[in-house]
Every structure is written in structure tokens, then in C-alpha cells.
């Protein structure tokens, strides 16, 4: 294997050298995912495989020669670095995948599928699907496994367009149509730490209880506004403090939810300014992308890209699944 790649060296300039052709892109991916040698996805054997010598021809599997296939000495099966990842079976060249992944990891406001289309010179449907597969890879991961602790802020917002008033329609009717067009997003933010976000059709006690019990350590201190559902749920944690926004109270000593409000501000600026519209059925994948960038905010762009590439392991997302969600 080639020398170990240093995350600090990964940027748009260095990627140009690594991705100068498809063979270089495959070697680069192998260095990222297999720093200790090839890992067989079938049996888990490490560095006990042989690169197939194609001799300028297609491999036994009928794939082009630039696709580096390996044969495992233990299970005797063939594999490549893309097996069992979001990139598997894609007809898009690997160097375009890696460039798109770096763009989505290095832009604070995200990247629109139209920009990916123009940059990579692919069809819009292809760019759109690439973006969703990368967002799927950003879900979960090691950073997402630990429970939130310390001081945790909980708040909710609504994402969606504003309905225009129709002739003869009352203000309350217009407001109702606006609410029907919006989707609730509940976010838990650990001060100085991680964030967890999820979209719901409605904010209910059951939904909030599920989020708190799944993501928050019982020893945590919960900070919320005076939404009534939190009154009961806060008793399950070590402490619960509230601020009364209706009375104009936004901070009282250490009691506030300004960190969560700041997260929502970035989320809405990104959706309004970059994506313009986000479908309700795909919103959770967009939230995974924003959560991932927030949770890796202390990393460099290169480190964030490498983390996203390594999280692609064991994740497949088929086009039919995306369009039918």
C-alpha cells in the first residue's frame, strides 16, 4: 500500500493530483479505506488478498480494467474497495464521487444538486442521487453513538414555505395552510458537543420522549422553552430548566436555548439559500448532513471528508428506495 494519507493534506488542490484519472482515484480510495491493507468484505480478512492482474483486459467480472479487483486468499472471493459502500455498482466515475463528497463536506451551507451537476458534468438526476447517497453515508457513525450529556438544549422549528393568501381567505385559514406546508424539526444540542436532529409530522410527547430517551444521558441537565410536553419529560433527567420566550425571556443566567436557535439559523439559511426547497420525505437525510457537519465542525475539511468516506462502509441506498420514500 502507498504511504498513509494525512488528513491535513486533503483539499481541492491536492485532490486534483489524487484524482487525475480513474486508476489514481481507486488507489486513493484504497488508501483511505484500507490504511492497513485490503479488507475482504466477505470474510473480514485483512491484508491477505492479491490484486488481480488484468493485463489490459477486462476482469473476470466483466468490469473495465481501471477497477482494481482483489482475490481473498481465505474465502477465495473477489472484491473491490467499493463493495458494500454507497459507491458500489455506480456507473459514475469514482473521482467524481470523491470530488462531490469533498464539496459537500467543505461547504458550510451545503451544495445544491444543480451545482454538483454543473461541476461534475453529469445529469441532474445523477447529481441528485449522488447527494442523497452521500447524505445517507453521513447518518450515524461513531460520533453519533455516544449519548448527549452535560447541558443539553432541546427545541423545535418548522421547515417549509409560507402559503400566499387566497382571495376571500381569512388570516387564520392562510396560517393553517402554511402550517400544513411545514414540517417540524426537533433538535437536541449538547453545549460544546454534538447535535441530534429529527423531522416529525407533529411534535408530540411520544416523539419528544423517544428522542430524549434515545439520545440523552439521564444525568444531563435539560434546557427548553416552556412547551408543556417538556414539563413531564424533564423529570426523567437530572435537572430541567426553562426560559419563557412569550414573556420576552431568552436567557436567565445559564438557562437558555440559544445554541439550538443558532443551529436552526444555520439550517434555515442553508435550506433557503442553497437548496431553496427540501421535500418533507427527504428532510431527515438533509438533517443528517447538517448534523454531520456540525458534529465535525472542529475538524479540517480534509478530516471531515475522510470521516465521511469511512462512514460509507456497509451502506447501500438504491434509487427505487429514494424515490419511493
pLDDT tops 50 at residue 1: no
Long-range interactions of 318-324: CB distance < 8 A, separation 24+? 319/129, 322/129, 322/132, 322/282
The pLDDT, as a whole number, for residue 55 is 47
| β partners of residue 184 | 158, 200
pLDDT digits (tens, 9 = 90+) for 16-37: 777 777 888 888 899 888 988 8
pLDDT tops 90 at residue 292: yes
Average pLDDT score, the chain: 86
d(CA 48, CA 68): 15
Helices (H), the chain: 12-18, 22-33, 94-106, 113-120, 124-138, 142-145, 171-180, 205-215, 229-233, 258-270, 283-295, 301-310, 319-324
Letter string b/e over residues 236-261, b meaning 16 or more CB atoms within 10 A of that residue's CB: ebeebbbbeeeeeeeeeeebbbebbb
pLDDT digits (tens, 9 = 90+) for 41-58: 999 999 999 988 654 455
pLDDT tops 50 at residue 115: yes
| pTM listed for this prediction | 0.86
pLDDT digits (tens, 9 = 90+) for 56-77: 455 445 555 567 889 999 999 9
List all residues 6 or more positions away from 234 whose beta carbon is below 8 Å from its beta carbon. 222, 224, 240
d(CA 325, CA 314): 20
Distance of CA 217 to the CA centre of its chain: 23
Per-residue cell: 241: 430548566
- The band of 234, judged by pLDDT with boundaries at 50, 70 and 90, is confident
d(CA 16, CA 10): 10
Quickly count: other Cβ atoms within 10 Å of residue 118's Cβ.
12
d(CA 307, CA 302): 9
Domain boundaries, the chain: 7-141+317-324, 145-278
User: What's phi and psi for 76, nearest 5 deg?
Assistant: 65, 15
| Domain formed by 145-278, architecture | 2-Layer Sandwich (3.30)
Higher-confidence residue of 252 and 67: namely 252
List all residues 6 or more positions away from 80 whose beta carbon is below 8 Å from its beta carbon. 26, 67, 68, 69, 70
Amino acid at each position: 500500500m502507498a504511504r498513509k494519507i494525512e488528513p491535513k493534506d486533503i483539499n481541492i488542490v491536492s485532490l486534483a493530483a489524487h484524482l487525475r484519472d480513474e486508476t489514481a482515484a481507486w488507489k486513493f480510495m484504497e488508501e483511505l479505506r484500507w490504511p492497513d491493507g485490503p479488507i475482504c468484505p466477505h470474510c473480514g480478512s485483512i491484508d491477505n488478498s492479491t490484486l488481480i492482474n488484468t493485463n489490459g483486459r477486462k476482469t473476470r467480472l466483466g468490469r473495465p480494467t481501471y477497477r482494481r479487483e482483489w482475490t481473498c486468499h481465505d474465502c477465495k472471493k473477489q472484491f473491490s474497495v467499493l463493495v458494500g459502500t454507497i459507491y458500489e455498482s455506480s456507473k459514475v466515475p469514482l473521482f467524481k464521487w470523491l470530488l462531490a463528497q469533498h464539496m459537500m463536506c467543505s461547504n458550510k451551507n451545503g451544495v445544491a444538486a444543480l451545482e454538483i451537476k454543473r461541476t461534475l458534468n453529469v445529469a441532474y438526476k445523477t447529481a441528485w442521487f449522488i447527494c442523497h447517497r452521500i447524505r445517507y453515508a453521513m447518518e450515524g457513525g461513531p460520533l453519533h453513538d455516544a449519548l448527549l450529556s452535560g447541558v443539553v438544549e432541546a427545541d423545535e422549528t418548522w421547515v417549509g414555505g409560507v402559503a400566499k393568501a387566497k382571495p376571500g381567505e381569512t388570516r387564520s385559514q392562510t396560517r393553517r395552510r402554511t402550517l400544513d406546508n411545514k414540517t417540524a424539526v426537533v433538535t437536541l444540542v449538547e453545549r460544546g458537543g454534538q447535535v441530534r436532529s429529527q423531522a416529525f409530522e407533529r411534535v408530540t410527547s411520544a416523539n419528544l420522549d423517544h428522542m430524549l430517551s434515545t439520545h440523552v444521558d439521564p444525568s444531563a441537565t435539560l434546557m427548553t422553552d416552556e412547551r408543556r410536553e417538556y414539563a413531564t419529560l424533564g423529570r426523567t433527567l437530572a435537572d430541567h430548566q426553562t426560559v419563557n420566550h412569550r414573556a420576552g425571556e431568552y436567557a436567565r443566567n445559564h438557562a437558555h436555548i440559544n445554541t439550538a436557535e443558532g443551529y436552526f439559523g444555520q439550517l434555515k439559511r442553508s435550506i433557503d439559500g442553497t437548496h431553496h426547497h427540501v421535500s418533507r420525505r427527504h428532510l431527515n437525510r438533509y438533517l443528517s448532513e447538517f448534523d454531520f457537519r456540525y458534529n465535525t465542525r472542529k475538524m479540517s475539511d480534509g478530516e471531515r471528508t475522510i470521516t465521511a468516506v469511512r462512514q460509507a462502509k456497509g451502506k447501500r441506498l438504491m434509487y427505487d428506495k429514494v424515490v419511493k420514500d
